[in-house]
A = this chain, B = another copy of it.
Amino acid sequence: MSRKIITITRQYGSGGREIGEQLAQKLGIEFYDNKLLDLAAENSGIHKNHFRDNDEKRTNSFLYLLSTTYGQGGIPFDDTLFFAQLNTIQKIASEQDCVIIGRCADYALRDFTGVINLFVSAPFECRVKRAIEVYGIEEKHAENYVKRIDKQRTSYYNYYTDKRWGQPQNYQLCLDSSVLGIDGSVKLAEDFIKMYYKD
């Protein structure tokens, strides 16, 4: 049986993180979301706050880019963080079965065999509702907040990879989580993964 490696790319508020967490539990394998950032910090020696503050977003300020080279051959700090994460993702996937949320993991593992890349979406209005009810975003800011995070993730992914975020050809399965709900989506993704790995 080959190693089970599952990456999940998710629109903000689609419940992709929860689906990934439940999926990892059901499959009895490791789950990496923020834990990945701490591990990248540990591996690279860069403080974990830098990873959290810059998580899945690019700094667009030119002055910031000028001021934050990290002493590693003049590489912008954003890039240093990205490559530290990329190395950590590759290390994890070399050692264990896992579910990894976001952070261009599908790209980081593009040369690994047997990786399943999932994309979780949901209609905009469902994601706004979830942002308010589950993540506690203030109602008056929720629509803009959802749009902003989507834009950040898209821009981050498109900058660091040679692919476009959210194109079906990058994923083996794309799911609208509003159709079956979180539990139903977990069930379908589990069926897909078990059929693939013939488990």
**Could you tell me which A residues sit within 8 Å of B by CB distance?**
116, 119, 121, 123, 166-169, 171-176, 179-180, 184, 187-188, 191-192, 195-196
- Give every chain B residue within 8 A of A191 (Cβ-Cβ): 188, 191
Among A179, A184, A196, the one with the most B-chain Cβ atoms within 10 Å of its Cβ is: A179
Minimum distance in angstroms from A111 CB to a CB of chain B:
15
- Give every chain B residue within 8 A of A123 (Cβ-Cβ): 169
CA distance A191 to B193 in the complex (A): 14
CA distance A195 to B196 in the complex (A): 20
Identical subunits present: 2
CA distance A171 to B168 in the complex (A): 10
Minimum distance in angstroms from A29 CB to a CB of chain B:
19
Which B residue sits closest to A124, measured CB to CB?
B169
Given contacts A119-B174, A174-B119, A174-B174, whether A192 and B180 have CB atoms under 8 Å apart is: yes
Question: 27 A–B contact pairs at CB < 8 A?
Answer: A116-B179, A119-B168, A121-B168, A123-B169, A166-B168, A166-B169, A167-B168, A168-B168, A168-B171, A168-B174, A169-B176, A171-B174, A172-B175, A172-B179, A173-B174, A173-B179, A174-B174, A174-B175, A179-B196, A180-B192, A180-B195, A180-B196, A184-B195, A187-B195, A188-B192, A188-B195, A191-B191
Which B residue sits closest to A183, measured CB to CB?
B195
CA distance A196 to B119 in the complex (A): 19
Which residue of the partner chain, among B116, B166, B169, B176, contacts A173 with CB atoms under 8 Å? B176
- Give every chain B residue within 8 A of A168 (Cβ-Cβ): 119, 121, 166-168, 171, 174, 176
